[in-house]
A and B are shown apart, each in its own frame.
Chain A
Amino acid sequence: MTHLVQAIALGLLIGGVYALMASGLTLIFGVMRIINIAQGAFLILVAMLTWWLWHETGIDPILASVVTTPLMFGFGWVAYRLLLSRIRGSSASMSVLLTFGFALVIEGVLNITAGNKFKSATPSYFEESFRVGAISLPKAQVFGFLAAMAVLGVLYFVLTRTWTGRAIRAATQNPSGAALVGVGATGTAALAFAIGSATTGVGGSILSVLYPFFPASHYDWISRLLGIVVLGGMGSLPGALIGAGILGLAETLTATYGSLNWSTLVFYIVIMVVLLFRPQGLFGAKLREDTV
């Protein structure tokens, strides 16, 4: 029983972090119909930066996101303006290939500059835990979870309560309608891409503490995040939250009762089973464009 509670608690903590990481991906997809395969590489890039900051200055890795978040915001904005805006209007598959290429370039650059060895930031609280009754919650997980929730909260506020957010949501639902009322498509798209990239600022910082990483780790991450997005329904933020929770639980439960080796696989199986019964994912709406 303790095992079960422990596994569920851990699963939810990890799920919160996954939710943050997937939110950027699903936001970008929702607004632009772009599957940003480079999102995983962005995460690793931030993790690498964070590790370097922590290593050089001793600053807390999670706090370092104060630096990395605006950096990634700018990075995303420039990437959109320079690369993705050039292929607006061509088929969605081209954006997949472009961001895939971008991911490889980031991986290659990191390989050359940082070397392909495993790294992990280990702040002082790295091996400490909070004890709640019989279960123990690693401090790093808890801090990561709290940071993720804070960012998701800010994201939610921005999307629902500010003009910018409303513009982004308008562009998600009806781009030409949004353009008619003065919401420029390119500007909004660049903004959404920048915000989506900025979420990796915190996501990557947390990653650097919780998981060992090296440049090619981005494949694992992007396939997990994409899995979350497909499971929850492409472009749906609540879907991403639920999908992330399911991934977290699937991993910890499999690790507790089976073997760590199979944990990602179990998640993929869950996805396939869900798609078998709900091809559009848990929260995915059938799009108008899907009809004849």
Chain B
Amino acid sequence: MKHIKTIAEGTLKKNRDTRGCGECQTSCQSACKTSCTVGNQKCENKK
């Protein structure tokens, strides 16, 4: 495209069908303990 370059296609729409297995890390357990950071968490179901 000439006027816009895509650097990430987005995964939110695609994974709306998953129902949340709950196996992933609780976000607060990583470093912060005082804020909620979810966008950087890994999915346990993706290899």
Partners in one complex: no
B positions within 8 Å CB-CB of A: none
Q: Which residues of A contact B (CB under 8 A)?
A: none
